[in-house]
A and B are shown apart, each in its own frame.
Chain A
């Protein structure tokens, strides 16, 4: 009980610091790095629900990110929708899409499932490149609303509000994961990851629960997509639907520790600044170098500690006990 109290105190202190951060740090760049960390942490967390807890490795999650970004942006452009409504619509669209994708793809197990998700991602990316009404390969701008307002979900003077929105999204993802973890859903997902046949023999409807994990994961990912669109104010298939995004989301969670509550956040807190730093210090040609660094890190992690940093931390704790 004491340990639990301490843990809550640390979490509360960390949260307070994060809330105060933009009041103290007013420069745009550090704020941008923090926003990026929150965004990627929440995306990796959403991925983690399907891949970490349920064991279904998706390498096509950019599809749901893109669904969120495109749904809200297209609704705003073509129908004058509020981005908040668009965000909700994007999540609903991603959930529906995930169920359509899941139905055929979940018939595959293991590596074949991962490969199929890559294929689906590439198909949808290609469709969007060739769909002129949705901007095609040129992409589309989010309609600019000049006065900053919460209603418009656009802030041109300062990144502060984007910071708080991304933090809120991350907290939402953490809360959803915690709730899943503690409910029957969480137990069933982990049982499916460990052994599908044993799970089925105990009455777990395996296909239905995989679909549920996919729905939760896709819906959360789409929220991140809409946030990205409102933050950058421009989207194209290259930025919101690439395979590299799907892989990055996966790398962050793997680095931090899959199937754990804090792993994705830890992974993002390390990989995002690392990416930004290599880009700054290694200059314009650095685009591939940050990927080289990621690749190297993943190799180290898979050799030294496949459970990620969370497993490393747990091992350390056991030693000190």
Chain B
């Protein structure tokens, strides 16, 4: 459903994404890995319309979305979370999620119901009436996930969903991601936690210095000398 073709994004002299190509099929779960500065978050920004690619195309179900605005891409069924969290701090948790739910309905009562369902799924229903600013980082991650879910996406892009979350919450989040995928949502997941990403992904795309250096099943990508080198340096390549 998602077809990335030769996407290049420069910031001045820095090439954040260089000729990146990969596909995500309907219902697939693809992991994106790479050291800091590899261009993962920039790639998400290009896919969701927050940045416009300098070259290349992003196709969604065969349709070019490269130059659409973020809200238009969202309405085509693509939701995302941000690595740098963006809660609506002066709104309650429920109101935050309702903003997402309003994409599919203008009726506040219905948006409220759907928002509560989404909060239930991420395990944040007991915080519905709390202000978003009092949440912990882990709770904010889950809030952001609930907000994205409330738009009922077909493709969900998760930017470091387990980063900064306390260890006890990780299995729950992983189970949730799996469950979403089983229910038919395609996912692209940026993740630093190797245990998690190797476990949940059917396929992994590895980025390094803005380029795709590996694309394949987790086991193969994990053994790929270029990936090991990118993460650990040449000394560890055997």
Residues of A whose CB lies within 8 Å of any CB of B are: 182-184, 187-188, 190-191, 193-195, 197-206, 259
**Cα distance A188–B98 in the bound complex, in angstroms:** 9
Tell me whether A200 and B99 are in contact (CB under 8 A). no
What are 8 A-B contacts defined by CB distance under 8 Å? A188-B102, A191-B91, A194-B90, A195-B87, A201-B80, A202-B103, A205-B69, A206-B71
Tell me whether A190 and B88 are in contact (CB under 8 A). yes
Contact A184:B148 (CB < 8 A) given known A197-B50, A202-B100: no
B46 at the A interface (CB under 8 A):
no
Q: Which residues of A contact B88 (CB under 8 A)?
A: 190-191, 194-195, 198-199
B163 at the A interface (CB under 8 A):
no
Tell me whether A198 and B82 are in contact (CB under 8 A). yes
B167 at the A interface (CB under 8 A):
no
Q: Which residues of A contact B79 (CB under 8 A)?
A: 201-202
Q: Which residues of B contact A182 (CB under 8 A)?
A: 108
Taking each of A183, A190, A198, A203, which has the highest tally of chain B beta carbons within 10 Å of its own beta carbon? A203
Question: Contacting A200 at CB < 8 Å: which of B71, B87, B95, B102?
Answer: B71
Tell me whether A197 and B86 are in contact (CB under 8 A). yes
Taking each of A183, A198, A201, which has the highest tally of chain B beta carbons within 10 Å of its own beta carbon? A201
- CB-CB nearest in chain B for A194: B88
**Cα distance A90–B74 in the bound complex, in angstroms:** 38
- CB-CB nearest in chain B for A186: B108
- CB-CB nearest in chain A for B132: A194
Q: Which residues of A contact B89 (CB under 8 A)?
A: 194
**Cα distance A321–B99 in the bound complex, in angstroms:** 30
**Cα distance A183–B82 in the bound complex, in angstroms:** 26
**Cα distance A206–B91 in the bound complex, in angstroms:** 18
Taking each of B79, B86, B99, B103, which has the highest tally of chain A beta carbons within 10 Å of its own beta carbon? B99
Question: Contacting B70 at CB < 8 Å: which of A183, A190, A197, A259?
Answer: A197
Query: Interface extent on B, as a size class?
Result: 20 to 34
Q: Given contact pairs A202-B148, A205-B71, enumerate 15 new A-B contacts (beta carbons under 8 Å).
A: A183-B108, A187-B98, A187-B111, A191-B88, A191-B91, A195-B87, A200-B50, A200-B71, A201-B70, A201-B71, A202-B99, A202-B147, A202-B150, A203-B100, A204-B71
**Cα distance A264–B99 in the bound complex, in angstroms:** 25
Question: Contacting A204 at CB < 8 Å: which of B90, B99, B150?
Answer: B99
- CB-CB nearest in chain A for B97: A202
Within B96-134, which residues are at the interface with A (CB < 8 Å)? Answer: 98-100, 102-103, 106, 108, 111
Question: Contacting B106 at CB < 8 Å: which of A184, A197, A201, A204?
Answer: A184
Tell me whether A187 and B48 are in contact (CB under 8 A). no
Tell me whether A195 and B91 are in contact (CB under 8 A). no
Q: Which residues of B contact A190 (CB under 8 A)?
A: 88, 90-91, 95
Closest 6 CB pairs of A and B: A194-B88, A198-B86, A203-B74, A200-B70, A203-B103, A191-B99
Q: Which residues of A contact B49 (CB under 8 A)?
A: 200
Tell me whether B108 and A184 are in contact (CB under 8 A). yes
Shortest distance between the CB of B118 and any CB in chain A (Å):
12
Question: Contacting A184 at CB < 8 Å: which of B48, B80, B102?
Answer: B102
Tell me whether A202 and B91 are in contact (CB under 8 A). no
- CB-CB nearest in chain B for A259: B90
Shortest distance between the CB of B70 and any CB in chain A (Å):
4
B151 at the A interface (CB under 8 A):
yes
- CB-CB nearest in chain A for B75: A203
Tell me whether A195 and B108 are in contact (CB under 8 A). no
Shortest distance between the CB of A91 and any CB in chain B (Å):
24
Contact A201:B74 (CB < 8 A) given known A191-B88, A194-B88, A194-B89: yes
Tell me whether A202 and B108 are in contact (CB under 8 A). no
Tell me whether B71 and A203 are in contact (CB under 8 A). yes
Q: Which residues of B contact A193 (CB under 8 A)?
A: 90
Shortest distance between the CB of B59 and any CB in chain A (Å):
20
Q: Which residues of B contact A183 (CB under 8 A)?
A: 106, 108
Shortest distance between the CB of A172 and any CB in chain B (Å):
22
**Cα distance A121–B131 in the bound complex, in angstroms:** 37
Tell me whether B90 and A202 are in contact (CB under 8 A). no
Tell me whether B111 and A200 are in contact (CB under 8 A). no
Q: Which residues of B contact A202 (CB under 8 A)?
A: 71, 74, 79, 99-100, 103, 147-148, 150-151
Question: Contacting A201 at CB < 8 Å: which of B82, B91, B98?
Answer: B82
**Cα distance A182–B108 in the bound complex, in angstroms:** 7
**Cα distance A193–B88 in the bound complex, in angstroms:** 8
Q: Which residues of A contact B150 (CB under 8 A)?
A: 202
**Cα distance A207–B90 in the bound complex, in angstroms:** 21
**Cα distance A150–B75 in the bound complex, in angstroms:** 49
**Cα distance A183–B107 in the bound complex, in angstroms:** 8
Contact A195:B74 (CB < 8 A) given known A187-B99, A188-B99, A202-B147: no
**Cα distance A290–B49 in the bound complex, in angstroms:** 50
**Cα distance A187–B100 in the bound complex, in angstroms:** 10
**Cα distance A152–B106 in the bound complex, in angstroms:** 41
Taking each of B70, B100, B150, which has the highest tally of chain A beta carbons within 10 Å of its own beta carbon? B70
**Cα distance A182–B74 in the bound complex, in angstroms:** 23
**Cα distance A230–B194 in the bound complex, in angstroms:** 72
